[in-house]
Amino acid sequence: MKQGASTNRPAMSDPLFTPDEQKHFDAGIAELLSHYPVDRKSAAMLPALRLLQTLKGWLPPEGLKLVASRLETTVERCYEVATFYVMFHTKKPGKYVIDVCTNLACALRGAEGMLAYLEQKLATKAGENGEKYFLRETECLASCGTAPCLQVNEDHHESLTKAKVDALLEKLA
Amino acid sequence: MSVLSEKVITRDWERPNQNTLAGYKANGGYKAAMKALELPPAAITDEVKKSQLRGRGGAGFPTGLKWSFVPSLEKNPKPRYLAINADESEPGTAKDRFILEKDPHLLLEGIAIACYALGAHTCYIYSRGEFKYPSAVLDKAIAEATADGIFGKKLLGRDFELNVYQVRGAGAYICGEETALLESLEGKKGWPRLKPPFPAVVGLFGCPTVVNNVETIASLPRIFEKGAEWFSKLGFGKSGGTRLVTVSGAVNRPGTYEVAMDTSLRELIYDAAYGQGLPEGRTVKACIPGGSSAPVLTGDELDVKLEFDAFKPLQSMAGSGGVMVMDDTACMVRCLWRVSRFYAEESCGQCTPCREGQPWMARILRKIEEGRGERGDLDTLLGVAAAVAPWPPIGLGTTICALGDAGALPVQSFVTKFREDFEQHIRLRRCPKGDKPWGVFGDFK
Ligand SMILES: Cc1cc2nc3c(=O)[nH]c(=O)nc-3n(C[C@H](O)[C@H](O)[C@H](O)COP(=O)(O)O)c2cc1C
Ligand code: SF4
Ligand code: FES
């Protein structure tokens, strides 16, 4: 038996998915697998993990087991990939993940000041994962000509000023 | 001064609905591919060779030549793949995202031409995980083209199946390196492969694979619309066409511009059509010309053309077109430290010189910037860098992939060209710029 196959259905006491999510997940995986050669199911790893994270907000252990079984690979392989890429969360992140680019082009346009401003306004420290905010420094986001920039839960914001950051934060309830 | 006589990539960006299939077709879209597909595949590759199209991903490698490394079906009957590099993460570079956002069908039309020439029935577009909006536009474009019957069982009505899929990355600079990209496409962590064999021979799933940058492939429709000769003549020397560059940092009008190949760095920084110079009284102290991996130039080295071969005498490179400008009030140590931190963070950890060397260099730079530098630190720094990749010339790296070089070259070029700035920090035991190290636009307002 393939490793993880027995976890195809999560324990009854703590179902991983709602019926709707389950449907979405199953259809998503089927579509993804159709993009690869039949003997290369595990190639769908990144998109499958993204699908899981879109549904759950992070990659819970039960979910990783499920991905492993659907992709006919091991849960260790899932963890290896999940921990290599910074966008995958193997720990539950705060409600708002705020990624601030502090690479050179942005730094030359005030990114460090922007990060300090966010730390002060959100009363958090960069790198600390809180319940509401997970503020992080990140690398160049291809907004060098429209610096500084940041992403809130992957939504991109560029050419930022104090006024724009204030307006943005107001929307984060 | 050089003038951009005709736009190639950005020509239609301002047209209404350009990023939809209807808008794209209204302007003659997919006609160039129809024309190209009348040629036998080998003749398409020949045209691409004639056009002098060179890779826009960083290395400037001749595209037609790369395609010709794919073995014939008799020699290797395995399927072949095209992988599009849309990972755009080289610091300073912001161009491919605009192609995806503003004119995704230009890329897709290029893919149709390239796949037909290569005999590839599957194309994966590997896009940067952080590109939520560009990816959404691209997904829609792929769906439109597939629904329209452009892709699918009959590519543009021919007896040739082509399926195009987008795969989104998940935040790892190294996956822009072509073999790491292939590993990632295979569902693994992005650990580069030792070359040779090159991807054209052993690539995705062990099959012949061509990896090309977004801008490279997006140039193809124009080549077949207007002719290889036209494209070649538009360029300069051995670099055909035009190119997209992004100028950032201390200029008055940062942004992404399409320029002629013979445009100089100085023109890009000062011209009214581009960067519009620096604020009154400020001068260029340093300029990274082709993404942060490219060795830094001084303010006296700006009269260099942006085409691919012109940087060789300066021991630097045109790279990915990311031009970052630092003015005379910016701190060179701080700038280099930030660059080094990036490579320390992004090393995949496979090779000892890179895994240990990049963080070591970053630590020494931090020490110097924070006023704890000692006599001898600069020699250690240069020694570590040279152990990863001696310079000059470019290309002597001791590691599996060129990320090693990419981290070592900035260190060697900054310390060599601005040595006095580094020594001053050590002498004074502090950064002379105090809490304003980022130069004329460094404050957050
Ligand atoms: C560390 C590293 C990162 C790279 N990142 C990118 C990238 O983000 N986008 C890209 O097109 N090429 C990148 N490249 C270059 C690719 O390896 C490859 O040369 C390129 O995609 C080939 O396409 P081209 O011939 O059309 O330029 C990178 C190379 C290295 C060593
Ligand atoms: S040079 Fe660095 S990034 Fe490249 S394979 Fe080696 S350790 Fe990984
Ligand atoms: S340096 Fe911040 S987007 Fe490029």
Write the pLDDT tens digit of every residue in B312-364.
999 999 999 999 999 999 999 999 999 999 999 999 999 999 999 999 999 99
pLDDT greater than 70 at residue B21: yes
Cβ of B181 below 6 Å from ligand 1: no
Instruction: Note whether B205 contacts A109, CB cutoff 8 Å.
Output: no
Q: In angstroms, rounded to a whole number, what is the distance separating the alpha carbons of residues B314 and B87?
A: 28
Topology (CATH level 3) of domain A5-84:
Arc Repressor Mutant, subunit A (1.10.10)
Residues of A in contact with B184 (CB under 8 A): 46
Instruction: Please state the ipTM of this predicted complex.
Output: 0.96
Encoded tokens for A63: 């979910």
DSSP of B273-304, one letter per residue? TTT---STT--EEEEE-SSTTSPPEETT----
Best CA proximity match to B322, nearest among A111, A100, A106 = A106
Alpha carbons B248 and B331: distance in angstroms, whole number: 16
Query: CATH fold of B332-428, please?
Result: de novo design (two linked rop proteins) (1.20.1440)
* Residue ranges covered by each domain of chain A: 5-84, 96-171
Query: Residue B80 burial (CB < 10 Å; 0-12/13-18/19+)?
Result: buried
The model's pLDDT over B173-225, given as tens digits with 9 standing for 90+, comes to 999 999 999 999 999 999 999 999 999 999 999 999 999 999 999 999 999 99
pLDDT for residue A8 is more than 60 = no
Which strand (E) or helix (H) includes residue B257? strand B255-260
Domain boundaries, chain B: 21-234, 245-327, 332-428
Q: Residue B240 carries which side chain, given as an amino acid letter?
A: G
Which sign does the torsion angle of CA B363, B369, B370, B374 carry? positive
CA dihedral defined by B219, B220, B222, B223, rounded to 10 degrees? 120
* Closest atom of ligand 1 relative to the B179 alpha carbon: 17
Structure tokens at B381: 């720094």
Angle at the Cα of B370 from the Cα atoms of B368 and B373, rounded to 5 degrees: 30
φ, ψ dihedrals at B54, nearest 5°: -125, 150
Q: Name the nearest CA neighbour of B61 among B395, B435, B424.
A: B395
Q: How many residues does chain A have?
A: 173
Question: Could you tell me which CATH number the domain at B21-234 has?
Answer: 3.40.50.11540
Q: What is the pTM of this model?
A: 0.96
**Residue A68: which region, alpha, beta or left (left: phi > 0; alpha: psi -120 to 50)?**
alpha
Cα of A142 vs centre of ligand 3, distance in Å, is 5
CATH topology of domain B245-327: Ubiquitin-like (UB roll) (3.10.20)
CA distance B304 to A52: 49
CB proximity list for A84: less than 8 A, separation 6 or greater: B172, B189, B190
- What pLDDT was estimated at residue B311? 97
Which residue from A minimizes the CA distance to B96?
A: A142
CA distance B169 to chain A (A): 7
Q: Which helix or strand (DSSP H or E) is residue B248 part of?
A: strand B242-249
pLDDT digits (tens, 9 = 90+) for B251-282: 999 999 999 999 999 999 999 999 999 999 99
User: Domain A96-171 carries which CATH code?
Assistant: 3.40.30.10
Tell me if B144 CB under 6 Å of ligand 1: no
One fold for both A5-84 and A96-171? no
pLDDT tens-place string over residues A101-136 = 999 999 999 999 999 999 999 999 999 999 999 999
